[in-house]
Amino acid sequence: MPSMPSSAGSNTTATTTISTVGPPSRRNTELALLAFAVILPCFAYANVGLALNGEMPSGMLGYGLGLGLLGGVGHLVVRKFAKYADPLLLPLATLLNGLGLVMIWRLDQSERLARLAQMHHQTFVAYAPKQLLYTALGIALFVAVVIFLKDHRLLQRYTYISMVVALVLLIAPVFFPAQFGARIWITVPGLGSLQPGEFAKIILAIFFAGYLMVKRDALALASRRFLGLYLPRGRDLGPILAVWAFSLLILIFETDLGSSLLFFGMFVVMLYVATERTSWIVFGLLMSAGGAAVVGSIEPHVKIRVMAWLHPFAVYDTPRPSWATTEQIAQALFAFGSGGVFGSGWGQGASDLIGFAANSDFILGTVGEELGLAGTMAILLVYGLVVERGVRTALAARDPFGKLLATGLSAGFAIQVFVVAGGVMGLIPMTGMTLPFMAYGGSSVLANWALVAILIKISDTARRPAPAPAPSPDAEMTQVVRP
């Protein structure tokens, strides 16, 4: 039997334990934020009811339980299938969706909108119940994506298939009648009107991410330097020229300024992230401005929107110009002006004067009047947090496809908020797009819940700790014998 070594001559062996414990899952944090995201819209709902009728609204309990149940289902699914996902995305989306439901219900109570519908021989419809149904369907789609999308990298296999699907979705509205001057809807029997462009932005982001991941080295090459910018090679301009031309075709045939800006802007941002070349941003801005200027001067519907943006109060001139056909932009500016810093209070504004688009394109005008500058900035801050969490997810992603996809989805979301808010506030011409989560529209709610679900899956993969290394059989059989 070998003798034990003496303490004086013994060697101390230092062992290092490799820990694979990653960051905490933060699911309890998500649950606490989700409770706040449900309580705040309930508080707003109660305030609107007290302001309009002097009593608590009768459907408050059902609204609170319904919104809490939908958010709770989403939380349980994330806790089970995306344990390490970002804890802020689901509560932020629930908060925006809940506040949007309250705003739409507030406009449903307007007698002025009911009389306006009668003047146009239309039946006044309450939109809040339909929006609540769309929200439930959106949460269902969110749950389906989180459960069945095992890994976001699987989407890379469908790079070119997604391009074909996106083209079909974008071209389909051309074959349907124009609504409100634009061809951005398709009519499905039994389902009503759908806006395929809302889904196309997600599918195009998948295509752009897959394409740029393969071609980024070639696109990053520069042939010459001009005015401090590295100019890309001529043969590499093909992709951006193709997307630019396609965005112009959308603008011409569908008179859809919003989708044109969204798709081209999203591609340019992803191209810049993939190549790290500032020249692509400059080229993109110049081409976007040039194309919009040309189309705006020749396309009648776009030209009317540009003129209404430049002269929003011309509708009140005598005689009225022939192109001044709506006072919606002027009424939205009046709403922001009358709101002041802190607003008139929930349910105490007159934003229903904007008309039938008050609950969709111009719902931010209701926020500006009843919550004021402070409330508007708070809402925009929540949107900014969604974008920030998406960009943080892109930075944390371990694979280039995930980085580009998260960047594209975040950029598309940010551009959509900008073009809608900018149009309502008079910064840019109106685009006809809807404010994500808040404005009325089934296609928008469904698409944006799917967008959040994909970001959650990417963040779960990025934050998930690395698996523990498998033990080596050789190490277990090795025995050190000391003399």
Output Rg (C-alpha) for the chain, integer angstroms.
27
CA max distance for the chain: 114
Quick one: CA torsion of 321, 113, 354, 349, rounded to 10 degrees?
Answer: 140
Helix (H) or strand (E) holding 230: strand 229-232
Q: List the Cα angle 446/336/389 in 5-degree steps.
A: 40
| Residue 387 confidence (pLDDT) | 96
| Residue 126 confidence (pLDDT) | 81
CA 475 – CA 200 distance, rounded (Å): 53
| Residue 9 confidence (pLDDT) | 45
What predicted TM-score, i.e. pTM, was given to this entire model? 0.87
| Residue 474 confidence (pLDDT) | 53
> Where are the domains positioned within the chain?
27-463
| Residue 182 confidence (pLDDT) | 66
| Residue 215 confidence (pLDDT) | 79
- 315-341 pLDDT, tens digit per residue, is 888 888 877 777 888 889 999 999 999
Residue 343 Ramachandran class (φ > 0 left, ψ -120 to 50 alpha, else beta): left
Quick one: CA torsion of 162, 452, 27, 39, rounded to 10 degrees?
Answer: -160
Low-confidence ranges of the chain (pLDDT < 70): 1-23, 120-121, 178-182, 189-192, 220-238, 254, 467-483
How far are the Cα atoms of 221, 412, 431 from residue 269, in angstroms, in the given order? 17, 9, 20
Q: Which residues pair with 460 in a beta bridge?
A: none
Please give the single-letter amino acid code of residue 360.
S
Please give the single-letter amino acid code of residue 22.
G
CA 41 – CA 445 distance, rounded (Å): 17
| Residue 233 confidence (pLDDT) | 64
What percent helix, strand, coil does the chain show, rounded to 5? Answer: 70, 5, 30
Q: Which residues pair with 121 in a beta bridge?
A: none
How many Cα atoms sit within 13 Å of 148 on the Cβ side?
A: 7
Please give the single-letter amino acid code of residue 66.
G
| Residue 181 confidence (pLDDT) | 62
- 68-96 pLDDT, tens digit per residue, is 999 999 999 999 999 999 999 999 999 99
Query: Rounded to the nearest 5°, which phi and psi values hold at 317?
Result: -75, 155
